[in-house]
Chains A and B, each alone.
Chain A
Amino acid sequence: MATITISNVSKAFGPTPVLKGVNLSVANGSFFTLLGPSGCGKTTLLRTIAGFLQPDTGHVLFDDQDVTHVPVHRRDIGMVFQDYALFPDKTVFANVSYGLRARGIERQSVERLVREHLDRVGLGHLADRHPAELSGGQRQRAALARALIIKPQVLLMDEPLSNLDAKLRVTMRETILDLQRASKITTIFVTHDQEEALSMSDQIAIMDRGVIAQVGTPEDLYERPANAYVADFIGAANVLSVRVLQRANAGHIIASLAGNELRCVDGGVTPGGEGKLIVRPEHIQFGSAEATIGTKNVVKGQVTRRRYLGAKTLYSVSVDADLTIAVEHHAGLYPRPLELGQIVDMVVPMNCLVVAS
């Protein structure tokens, strides 16, 4: 169990920079996710923390110890790989006991610990099988057990669920979380799946082309995206061009969207300039002009598209020739769907963010 500190780490492969001055702090015992599309540098960062890569500049610290130049096998980490990397010639038992045997733990203790861990992941009856005889989910659990059993300071997981099918993935998330909470090992989890990240993490760092775009709790990231990239990556978002008119009180500004005046939160824009309004489809309400002090944050439009998905319905509402807004309504809140061509009043909530273009 350790805190992990990444301090100003940069890494380039040949002429291409992959990590640019990354700074991160991972709390002891937390489940920390690195999220982003392929090529954003999350795997590179993970492998740097593991030690398979050496940063060009910067440091990696476990607690107070600078491990930047410590070889992998002495960092006391546990790692779970996307392809599980179980040793094909060894049984599940031999795989799981591998790290313990390397540490010289005596045989009887090894036996006991392995049985315990296998039972914990539900593989007790498969101890003598070889990896080829196991299903994908079973293999993943074996890989997990193998990494956890050595009680590493840090657990690193590189997209471990990507090769599993959808339903299995969901069950495995629970398994992983349960195990992590029980062992309280500081865990770094890499994924490109935002649903996974949101549902599992204590903290998420979203990465964009080698830099950290935002760090925060899932709620922080979802409700208060720092910029358009984050907003767009997590969940869906409308990113609309607006003109900033003036500052208002309490950190708000007044912006103009297709002629409508809206009151929004100031995300670092200057009056008179351009900005990007970020509002989630499910936060847009339809209704009469109740609520709001001052501006009413109302935008009128026409429903041009409707997709019924059972639990929710997706709408495209066209405001003018250049502006279409996506709206999402859950059946629980809006039992009666809108019609195509219907004219509606959309209410944009006042806590929506406007960021610089």
Chain B
Amino acid sequence: MRTRILPWGLLTAACIALNVLFVLYPLLTLTGNSFRAADGGFGFDGFIQFFANPEYLEALRNTILLGIAVTTTATLIGVPFAFIVVRHDFPLKGLVALLPIATIIIPEVIICQSWLLVLGNNGFVTRALRAIGIFLPSFYGWGGMIVVMTLVYYTYIYLGTLAALRGFDGQLEEASRSLGRSPFQTTFRVVLPTVLPAILVNAMVVFTLVVGNFAISIILGGHVPLLSIETYNAFVNEMGGNPVMQSTLSLVTIVLVAAVLFVQKRVVERRLVQMTQGRAPAAVRVSSWQGIAFAGFVLFIVLLSFLPLVTMFVAAFTESRGPMVRWGSFSLAGLERVLAFGREPILNSLKFASLATVAGTCFAVLASYLIVKKRSVASQALDYLAVLPLTVSGTVLGISLVQTFNSGPIILTGTSLIMVVTYMVHRLPFSIRSASSALYNVPDSLEEASISLGVAPLKTFFKVVVPVMSASVASAFVLMWATTMSELSASVVVYSGGLETLPITIFREIDSGRVGLASAYGAVLVTLIVVPIGLAVKIFRIKLFATK
């Protein structure tokens, strides 16, 4: 179908304009600011300072090390997990469906603070062990960060490996076995190498997430210098002044992430094997002791993932005084406090998240339609623009938006709009990808049939294309709700008076040591995230994590 100027050409132009305004332009502004000298002219001051300051270099080194460490541990958990789940049938297997909920839907702020309740210096496990003479090392620092990040990010590797294994053609294994290799050898020599690129792709995604991570790093980081924290601190310290270091550090972060993504695209994705007819071997019912071992492993991981959450809910209903939680004494005081003082953050969170989710999903559906179905040079440009935010962590994104819209012709700081825009841009690549994958499965003939029956192209989009995409769109909508409600790294940079959200409130409470009160807020946040999702999933029958 030849694209006419109206309406699709116009819409493509509009989408590109929005993207340029809110994504490209801020990033360029940020890049420009990193080359500012003290007097305001062009200069490499920022970079000179970066390389001269040993703490910055240490931060860079630590960030890379942390990335490698977490990626490794997450892979070591995620991959075997996926193998066990795909190939075997054992009791309690159904529980694994819950896992992504624990890690992806629950905000990182909450996960951190829940772990602190358990293993922090006043955590109940720590105290219990202290009582019997075992002194656990401090949870802050490398230990805590690696543990919590692993337990959050392993899900990405697990889901990615799962999808790859599900598409794996079982006949390849049968061929290997018929040629004389044992099942075990087959797994290592045939299955693993083929699935490896898919694993690597996800591992690299995890690496970039670790590099850009804010919540876990700042809460549990202790005094480990990290790139994301240094960037945030630079932002805070430079407020009102020359935004050089924050921009320089942001640029370093972007380059690091872009380098990894580049390697991923060129080296790894090329090796992704396309299975022509992937019929995965059926799950094998395992023998009793093996079944119990697997069930035990799954149960262990599920418990580890959910335990902190449960702890948090208990703490929310427990009496707390200042920084101490008085385990065992029930109290509603925390929740009363939340309802008395927390009304504004609650309303703000709900308002920004719902606006961003609705607008973001609509934009994503439109943009993906233009990219997939109305191909043109312009829509290709839109495709690349839309993917840009992937290279940028929440903190850097927030900084770029603040720098751009703090002055000049368009001032957005201080308005709700900047919060909504921040959320939308942050999640844009993800939602466009979801919508696009749905569209690839919609044959052109469906639209043509509708048009031939007398329904104009624009109306056809709404009456035929959107309904067929609805499953993917609903799933993306739900996930976007969860992630925008729990967003912290960009919010904390962008917000100002009256725009405080729940995660920011929780972050402040944790920073003040008020773990009990933070738990009360946390309980409210999790409820506000999960209940609408639960309702929507039930009513609209959405399959949340269906592997495509």
Contacts and interface: CB of A to CB of B under 8 A. Distances in A.
State if A and B touch, Cβ cutoff 8 Å.
yes
A81 interface: yes
8 contacts: A50-B452, A52-B1, A71-B456, A73-B452, A81-B448, A82-B445, A88-B468, A150-B454
Given A98-B453, A99-B453, A146-B453, A79 B448 contact: yes
Contacts of A156: 452
A103 B450 CA distance: 12
A86 B468 CA distance: 11
Nearest to A82: B445
Given A73-B452, A73-B456, 19 more contacts: A52-B1, A53-B2, A72-B452, A73-B454, A81-B445, A81-B448, A81-B449, A83-B445, A85-B443, A85-B445, A86-B449, A87-B464, A87-B467, A98-B450, A98-B453, A99-B453, A102-B453, A103-B454, A147-B453
A77 B445 CA distance: 15
Interface string A183-203: 000000000000000000000
Nearest to A77: B452
Contacts of B457: 73
Interface string B435-460: 00000000101101111111111011
Nearest to B2: A54
B72 interface: no
A76 interface: yes
B470 interface: yes
Contacts of A81: 445, 448-449
B470 A99 contact: no
Interface string A21-51: 0000000000000000000000000000010
B505 to A, nearest CB: 41
Contact of B451 (A72, A87, A103): A72
Contacts of B450: 87, 98
A79 B454 contact: no
Given A50-B452, A103-B454, A85 B467 contact: no
Chain A's interface size range is: 20 to 34
Contact of A79 (B449, B460, B467, B468): B449
Nearest to A146: B453
A143 to B, nearest CB: 8
Interface centre among B443, B448, B467, B468 (most CB of A within 10 A): B448
Give the residue among A73, A82, A86, A103 with the most B Cβ atoms within 10 A: A73
A87 B468 contact: yes
A78 B452 contact: yes
Interface of A: 50, 52-54, 71-74, 76-79, 81-83, 85-90, 98-99, 102-103, 143, 146-147, 150, 156
Contacts of A146: 449, 453
A99 B448 contact: no
Given A54-B2, A81-B445, A81-B448, A89 B467 contact: yes
B453 A150 contact: yes
B458 to A, nearest CB: 10
Given A85-B443, A87-B467, A73 B448 contact: no
A54 B4 CA distance: 12
Contact of A83 (B1, B443, B453): B443
A130 to B, nearest CB: 12
Contact of B448 (A52, A54, A150): A52
Contacts of B449: 79, 81, 85-87, 143, 146
A78 B451 CA distance: 10
The 5 closest A-B pairs by CB, nearest first: A99-B453, A85-B449, A79-B452, A85-B445, A81-B445
A12 to B, nearest CB: 13
Contact of B455 (A73, A90, A147): A73
Nearest to A83: B445
A227 to B, nearest CB: 34
A52 B448 CA distance: 8
Contacts of A53: 2
Interface in B452-510: 452-457, 459-460, 464, 467-468, 470
Contacts of A78: 452-453
Interface string B1-29: 11000000000000000000000000000
Contacts of B470: 89
Contacts of B446: 85, 87
Contacts of A143: 449
A327 B336 CA distance: 98
B455 A102 contact: yes
A156 B454 CA distance: 14
A111 B121 CA distance: 71
A72 B459 CA distance: 13
A87 B465 CA distance: 9
A214 to B, nearest CB: 29
B482 to A, nearest CB: 25
B2 to A, nearest CB: 6
A147 B448 CA distance: 12
Contacts of A74: 454
A54 to B, nearest CB: 6
B1 A102 contact: no
B110 to A, nearest CB: 37
A131 B449 CA distance: 15
B464 to A, nearest CB: 6
Contacts of B454: 73-74, 76, 99, 102-103, 150
A163 to B, nearest CB: 12
Contacts of B448: 50, 52, 72, 79, 81, 85
Contacts of B468: 87-89
B450 to A, nearest CB: 7
A26 B453 CA distance: 22
Nearest to B455: A102
Counting chain A CB atoms within 10 Å of each CB, which of B449, B451, B468 scores highest? B449
Nearest to A72: B451
A121 B64 CA distance: 67
Contacts of B445: 81-83, 85
A228 B31 CA distance: 70
A73 B467 contact: no
Interface in B57-90: none
A47 to B, nearest CB: 9
Interface string B151-185: 00000000000000000000000000000000000
A53 B2 CA distance: 7
A89 B464 CA distance: 9
A88 B452 CA distance: 17
Contacts of A147: 452-453
B3 to A, nearest CB: 12
A182 to B, nearest CB: 20
Nearest to A98: B453
Nearest to A71: B456
A153 B424 CA distance: 47
B116 to A, nearest CB: 47
A186 to B, nearest CB: 15
Contacts of A90: 467
